[in-house]
Structure 1
């Protein structure tokens, strides 16, 4: 029976034969210079004061890296496979100008995100989708506005909570188009968002004019054996029987500010 890294390697090699497995267990994609490391879940007996440290081989300096934890590979494999294949460009590319941005309702947004976003859907105040005809190809959800004071000035701040494409699809310029649709209707003073650091350093958001302002702290999570969902460690309580641990590297926080006339 093939190991998980070997299964991932075979997935890549179906469409990108140069993919290879390093002696240290990294899946290497030479042309895009991306390396993927598979992380097994950890025993609840793990010393929480000694979180795992990923050793990046010296020859991978300058490469982009991705961490793939066992629970996502086991329980969210269609989403993970789509994300992996997009690294080698194996995706249907649809230009944003071929789509129309429209509001969508909460059930539609949650269903789309549950099927296509690694973290699934969540409640949001504002929901937008990109449609090709009546085909929903991408979605973004935003929080309600909050009044924030910065440098002595008050402004309305919103959070971009989730955004993703349909599996196997990339809408080129899609995130930008979704944000512009939101901005036209709500005139925010700023929009902030979080990027999971195990998969991205947020280059896409920097290209859209967002500024990286902080990193959240890494933290331990456990995988609920019944729901297969990640949860925060309970304080002063035992873990559920069969629960396993993962070390989440935290998020990068980004903000985009808008000048008003």
Structure 2
């Protein structure tokens, strides 16, 4: 294993210290197999795979009911705690709390930002509504929503979007997100609720269990990663930086994710 893959050793060591043990195999990329149901593909930015081969391999394991995760080197280096939180959730090592014991309340911007920046892989994003699930006055789960009138679908047609969902580490609350969505729907009735599942981390099954319908699969998105800092930039951020001479093109590696799954949950009829 080359020096550029020391991060893989660090990742496996961190998992073991958190009670997660898997078998490392060399597939299209080094891959950790956990409990014969989770594949974590460890993708080094200095040794990029053929993306077509990566996608074909993914489809073959999805057909065998595996959860397939693409863990990029920059994501692990920049957000190791959040990565571990999410994997422990998938492995189901967390404490379960019954939803009926929890209360839904609105969450202010400051509290929402602190929670999401600390626990969500993509951090905080501005939203119109944020609601949380509380147990004994502790925030366990947060969901953030936006909404807009879609006059093209009708004068009073309201389309909403679930833009963030995050749970406190080491806690699993079956039915928690459904309870928060219903709370939001009672206060802001919608005709449909849309959300995206990141295909690098999700197969979308959790949304399907809540009644969401898969309506689209978006194209992969291009990103640029700095070779030294491992900073990840969108295409617009990258070109803006290069155009302003704040960086050199040679300092970046271009990658692409696997896109998103788009889901719609029907709401109410006006």
Q: Distance in 2 between matches of 1:26 and 1:59?
A: 14
Q: What secondary structure sits across from 1:111 in the alignment?
A: helix
User: Residues 58 and 226 of structure 1: is their aligned pair in 2 closer, same or farther, counting only changes over 3 Å?
Assistant: closer
When normalised by structure 1's length, the TM-score is: 0.85
Between 1:57-66 and 1:164-173, the stretch displaced more is: 57-66
Q: Which runs of 4+ in 1 moved over 4 A?
A: 57-61, 224-227, 233-237
Within the candidate set 16, 22, 26, 2:31 is matched to 26
Q: Does 1:179 align with 2:188?
A: no
Shift of 1:57: 8.5
When normalised by structure 2's length, the TM-score is: 0.83
User: Partner of 1:8 in structure 2?
Assistant: 11
Q: Distance in 2 between matches of 1:58 and 1:226?
A: 32
**Deviation digits for residues 27-82 of structure 1, max 9, x if unmatched?**
01134x11110111258xx9xxx856416389856122110011110011100011
Q: What secondary structure sits across from 1:21 in the alignment?
A: strand
Q: What secondary structure sits across from 1:87 in the alignment?
A: helix
Alignment of 1:231-242 (within 5 A): 231-233=234-236, 234-235=238-239, 238=242, 240-241=247-248, 242=251
Shift of 1:231: 2.1
User: Partner of 1:116 in structure 2?
Assistant: 119
Q: What runs of 5+ residues in structure 2 fail to find an aligned partner? A: none
Shift of 1:252: 0.9
User: Residues 160 and 64 of structure 1: is their aligned pair in 2 closer, same or farther, counting only changes over 3 Å?
Assistant: same
Q: Distance in 2 between matches of 1:246 and 1:95?
A: 41
Task: Select the structure that is richer in helix.
Answer: 2
Q: What runs of 5+ residues in structure 1 fail to find an aligned partner? A: none
Q: Is the 8 A contact 2:58 2:68 kept in 1?
A: no
Alignment of 1:1-261 (within 5 A): 3-14=6-17, 15-17=19-21, 19-24=22-27, 25-31=30-36, 33-42=37-46, 53-54=53-54, 56=57, 60=61, 62=64, 63-150=66-153, 155-223=157-225, 228-233=231-236, 234-235=238-239, 238=242, 240-241=247-248, 242-260=251-269
Q: What secondary structure sits across from 1:188 in the alignment?
A: coil
Question: Aligned-pair RMSD on alpha carbons?
Answer: 2.8
Task: Give aligned pairs, total.
Answer: 253
Shift of 1:112: 0.8
